[in-house]
Amino acid sequence: MEPDEERRSGGIAALSAPGRVTVAIAVAAVAVAVAVHVTMVFLHVAPENTLSKEHSETIDDYVLPEFEQNWKLFAPNPLQQNIHVHARAKVTKDDGSVETTGWVNLSAMDGENIRGNLLPSHTVQNELRRGWDFYTGSHDNEHRPVGLRGELSQAYMMRIVLERFGTELNGGTVDRIQLRSAVTRVAPPAWSDEKIDTKTEYRVLPWWSVGSDDLRGSR
């Protein structure tokens, strides 16, 4: 095929030499990124081995919390609870008075954004849910962090709330935030004789002070 015919045919063949080099570099970069991502996730979910032990901190830093994998949808222990995450804030007004807001159902906000949306984003679907799982899995029953992951999970949840509330709320500055979970067990089907208490149970976390580092990057 002559050069003029190649250009008319379109595609990569129609590009100049520098253009072909640019495309090749871009394709290679994407391939490397995909390979790194797949490898990191595989090492995270695979049984512990020499490589995952040696690089566990690097793997956790990459995977957690956005790409963490879990199997709660499947047997033998599928998730049988509806968990909603609520948040409220203490707001200091210009006159020095302090207002405590009502509880806001953050999970319901995500549900509204997903309902009717054919292509909901990964963030809307998973950020809050996975962030809460990350927090509860790295704290004990007294809300004490277990290792460095505990501190990271608290900072992550605080950032999520501040992204929703903003730093200024109801005419004042957000100084403290508090979270709680509302857990309701899924009722059995009508044909089942199983008896389940579907009363909502709450887990209320302590108040967290909002610092300058927490405000960075939020609205």
pLDDT tens for each residue of 79-132: 678 899 999 999 999 898 999 999 999 999 999 988 888 888 878 888 999 899
Beta pairing class for 172-185 and 81-93: antiparallel
Count the alpha carbons within 13 Å of 153 in the hemisphere toward its beta carbon: 25
For residue 111, is it within any domain?
Answer: yes
Cis before residue 76, ω within 30 degrees of 0? Answer: yes
For residue 23, is it within any domain?
Answer: yes
Residue 53 shares a structural domain with residue 110:
no
- Which of these, 182, 177, 156, lies nearest to 165 by C-alpha position? 177
Q: Which domain holds residue 202?
A: 81-215
For residue 72, is it within any domain?
Answer: no
Residue 142 shares a structural domain with residue 54:
no
Q: Residue 101 has what pLDDT? A: 95
Q: Indicate whether 146 pLDDT > 60.
A: yes
Per the structure block, which two tokens stand in for 205? 């976390």
For residue 115, is it within any domain?
Answer: yes
Residue 101 shares a structural domain with residue 52:
no
Are 120 and 114 spatial neighbours (Cβ–Cβ below 8 Å)?
A: yes
Residue 52 shares a structural domain with residue 146:
no
Quote the pTM value: 0.64
For residue 203, is it within any domain?
Answer: yes
For residue 68, is it within any domain?
Answer: no
Residue 49 shares a structural domain with residue 130:
no
Residue 143 shares a structural domain with residue 169:
yes
| 3-state secondary structure string across 156-181 | HHHHHHHHHHCCEECCEEEEEEEEEE
d(CA 160, CA 118): 24
Residue 116 shares a structural domain with residue 150:
yes
Q: Is 152 helix (H, G, I), strand (E, B) or coil?
A: helix
Residue 110 shares a structural domain with residue 153:
yes
For residue 164, is it within any domain?
Answer: yes
For residue 91, is it within any domain?
Answer: yes
Residue 92 shares a structural domain with residue 57:
no
Residue 53 shares a structural domain with residue 133:
no
d(CA 165, CA 179): 13
pLDDT in tens, 9-41: 556 667 787 878 888 899 999 999 999 888 888
Work out how many domains the chain is built from and give that number.
2
Residue 121 shares a structural domain with residue 189:
yes
Per the structure block, which two tokens stand in for 80? 């049988």
Residue 106 shares a structural domain with residue 189:
yes
Q: Please report the DSSP string for 21-42 in residue order.
A: HHHHHHHHHHHHHHHHHHHHHH
- Number of Cβ within a 10 Å radius of residue 32: 10
Percent of the chain with pLDDT over 90: 37
Q: Higher pLDDT residue, 177 or 120?
A: 177
